[in-house]
Amino acid sequence: MKGKWGYGDWLRECFCILCLLWSLYPLLFIGELPEGASVPKHYNFRGEVDSWGSIRWLYLPPILSFVLYIVLSVLERMPKILNYPVKVTENNREMLYMMAVKMLRAEKVLCMFTMGLVNHVSYSAATGSGGSCGWMIGVSVCAIIAPALYYTFKMITNGKRYE
């Protein structure tokens, strides 16, 4: 399952790292927030803030981003430890592992983007310069579910063909 990375792989990793840095960016300007500023902790389904917290909440997305980046990067290199929706056999092993790696790579990109977006929107809301952008977070979170559903379906349908 190990192979050389192509340009697409390097571009994806660069994008993930840029999104990781994007989640850190608001922390550079945390001192510019007004005294006693509140940061959104939670958004409802309409994209409206329904819970506020202290500016310390701006530290959570970068920490989660870093942890997710490390975990997903490690899992990409060890697809055999994952759970699969079909029995892994000698015939379907390579195909299942390849699909799992593709799924993890897609999830990593979407998670890094979402964490950057969350911190950007939260910081904008804390400064009062952000509009109602919470809906973008909802769309982004739903997008994270899509690759998992897609690749699980493909694993089930293709995995049974190889049995």
Q: Three-state SS for 39? A: strand
H or E element that contains 44: none
pLDDT (average), residues 33-40: 85
| Confidence category of residue 2, pLDDT binned at 50, 70, 90 | low
For the beta carbon of residue 16, count every other beta carbon within 10 angstroms.
23
| Confidence category of residue 95, pLDDT binned at 50, 70, 90 | very high
Q: Which whole-number Å values give the CA distances from 90 to 76, 81, 99, 105, 152, in the listed order? A: 20, 16, 15, 24, 19
pLDDT for the residue numbered 67: 96
143 CB-contact burial (10 Å; exposed 0-12 / middle 13-18 / buried 19+): middle
For residue 48, pLDDT beyond 80: no
| Contacts with 116 (C-beta within 8 Å, 6 or more apart), sequence order | 19, 20, 22, 23, 25, 61, 65
pLDDT for the residue numbered 107: 95
Report pTM. 0.86
Least confident of 8-12, 17-21, 135-139, 153-157: 135-139
Beta strands in 33-149, from DSSP E residues, in sequence order: 39-43, 49-53
Phi, psi of 50 (to 5 degrees): -120, 5
pLDDT for the residue numbered 141: 80
Query: How many whole angstroms separate alpha carbon 129 and alpha carbon 120?
Result: 11
pLDDT for the residue numbered 134: 66
Query: How many whole angstroms separate alpha carbon 143 and alpha carbon 111?
Result: 9
For the chain, give the mean pLDDT. 88
117 CB-contact burial (10 Å; exposed 0-12 / middle 13-18 / buried 19+): buried
